Amino acid sequence: MTLSIHAEEYGVSPKGEAVQLFTLTNAQGASASITNYGANLVTLFTPDRQGKMADIVLGYDALDGYFTNVPYLGATIGRVGNRIGKGQCKIDGKTYTFVQNNGTNHLHGGLEGFDKKVWKAETFETETSVGVHLDLLSEDGDQGYPGNLQVRTTYELHNDNELTCEYTATTDKTTILNMTNHSYFNLDLENQKTILEQKLKINAEQVTLLDQDQLPTGECLDVAGTVFDFTESKAIGADIFTDNEQLNIGGGYDINYILSDDSTVLKEAAVVIDEKTGRRLTVKTTEPCIQLYTANFLDGTLSGKGRSFEKHSAFCLEPQHVPDAPNKPMFKSIELKPGDTYNSKMSFAFDTIV
Ligand code: GLA
């Protein structure tokens, strides 16, 4: 096997733009396919302990699934991932209003977030990796956000079975930015209807508590001894059905973990193990937090890749800053100022256990 990049026509966007699908394959035969419609991750084939490749992310059968994509499968999220309360915040002293597409909240960048835009794609190859750069100009006023934002998403599949995803951006006016990737993983998608038996470890000692609108209250909870404690590897389903106010708000895990190491270096945030296939996924990030979401809003009405998307059929581990940070000054700011460069990187490394 050698490194390869395969580009194909994938269809036409609702606005009439031609869309491509890029399949990156590494020297071990693992592959990732990405479309420049929304910079969405469409497939991720990784080996099990016998070396058999299988896709481990939920996705649709064709491009048009991504046009609505209410659950944000595989999506590149921006400008601001997660929720902005009442769809409003102040930037440089001025109040900005964003579409309320989640009750009264603004969610995942609005109705036409980054996952609904056609990005300009350019593939590249190094000695040990293959990748695709995706570039987008999000204009001043896009979805209500200030500033012309030039943003780049780079997916890179490395020979050592690691998929990295890096975001960079610059702006000409102060704006807010909190990008993430919203892939839905199931390490045994072929055989396990839910991820409840897959074991998760998160390197976080605290979560941000939620109000009834799924916005952080501003308070943090120590996870030790609670259903949110994943500091030791534990089945995702071990405590998920506990009658717990914070779990009930999201219908399962849908909460932001504050990483124990919140530095901007790439550090391990979470590890998921599937004992049946032997697959292990290690998530690293430069972000201070990671959202754990156990696909609580999936209800079987959507389908793709030969299966319907059922509740808890996948997990998302979305590196990011604290949700609603623009309205919660106790948390790290997500402002980006002219002259500064936004940079965020995540890594999904996959190997197997014996
Ligand atoms: C995030 C949110 C969830 C939900 C999903 C998309 O993970 O935290 O509440 O909105 O996105 O369905």
C-beta of residue 167 within 8 angstroms of C-beta of residue 344: yes
**296-332 per-position pLDDT tens digit:** 999 999 999 999 999 999 999 999 999 999 999 999 9
Confidence of residue 243 (pLDDT cuts 50, 70, 90): very high
C-beta of residue 325 within 8 angstroms of C-beta of residue 333: yes
pLDDT of residue 136: 98
Which distant-in-sequence residues (6+ apart) come within 8 Å of 290 by Cβ?
Answer: 202, 204, 256, 257, 259, 269, 270, 283, 317, 318, 319, 320
pLDDT of 80 above 90? yes
Confidence of residue 292 (pLDDT cuts 50, 70, 90): very high
Q: How far is the CA of 154 from the centre of ligand 1 (A)?
A: 23
Q: How far is the CA of 316 from the centre of ligand 1 (A)?
A: 9
* 6 catalytic residue (yes or no): no
Is residue 316 in contact with ligand 1, taking CB distance under 6 Å? yes
Is residue 10 in contact with ligand 1, taking CB distance under 6 Å? no
pLDDT of residue 66: 98
DSSP H or E run through 282:
strand 279-285
Number of CB atoms found within 10 A of residue 255's CB: 23
DSSP H or E run through 94:
strand 94-97
Alpha-carbon torsion angle 281, 179, 220, 184, nearest 10: -40
Which among 294, 295, 290, 273 is positioned nearest to 282, based on CA atoms? 273
Nearest-5° angle of CA 272, CA 345, CA 179? 95
pLDDT of residue 326: 98
Q: Which two tokens stand for residue 277?
A: 């296939």
pLDDT of residue 104: 96
Assign residue 119 the CATH number of its domain: 2.70.98.10
Is residue 293 in contact with ligand 1, taking CB distance under 6 Å? yes
Select which of 106, 312, 318, 321 is catalytic: 318
pLDDT of 83 above 90? yes
**249-276 per-position pLDDT tens digit:** 999 999 999 999 999 999 999 999 999 9
pLDDT of residue 79: 98
**What mean pLDDT do residues 3-19 have?**
98
Is residue 98 in contact with ligand 1, taking CB distance under 6 Å? no
Could you give the number of structural domains in the chain?
1
Torsions phi, psi for 87 (to 5 deg): 60, 35
pLDDT of 1 above 90? no
C-beta of residue 345 within 8 angstroms of C-beta of residue 156: no
C-alpha 323/C-alpha 255 separation (Å) is: 9
Total number of residues shown for the chain: 354
Which among 279, 273, 275 is positioned nearest to 47, based on CA atoms? 279
SS3 24: strand
Confidence of residue 351 (pLDDT cuts 50, 70, 90): very high
Select which of 108, 182, 312, 321 is catalytic: 182
Q: How far is the CA of 109 from the centre of ligand 1 (A)?
A: 12
Is residue 71 in contact with ligand 1, taking CB distance under 6 Å? yes
**134-185 per-position pLDDT tens digit:** 999 999 999 999 999 999 999 999 999 999 999 999 999 999 999 999 999 9
Residue 89 belongs to domain spanning: 4-352
* 158 catalytic residue (yes or no): no
Partners of 290 in the β-ladder: 257, 319
C-alpha 354/C-alpha 335 separation (Å) is: 44
Closest-CA residue, ligand 1 atom 2, reads 82
Q: Tell me the CA distances in angstroms from 282 to 269, 271, 305, 325, 349, one per residue in order.
A: 8, 4, 24, 26, 5
Closest atom of ligand 1 to CA, residue 102? 10
Q: Looking up tokens 């481990």, which residue turns up?
A: 56
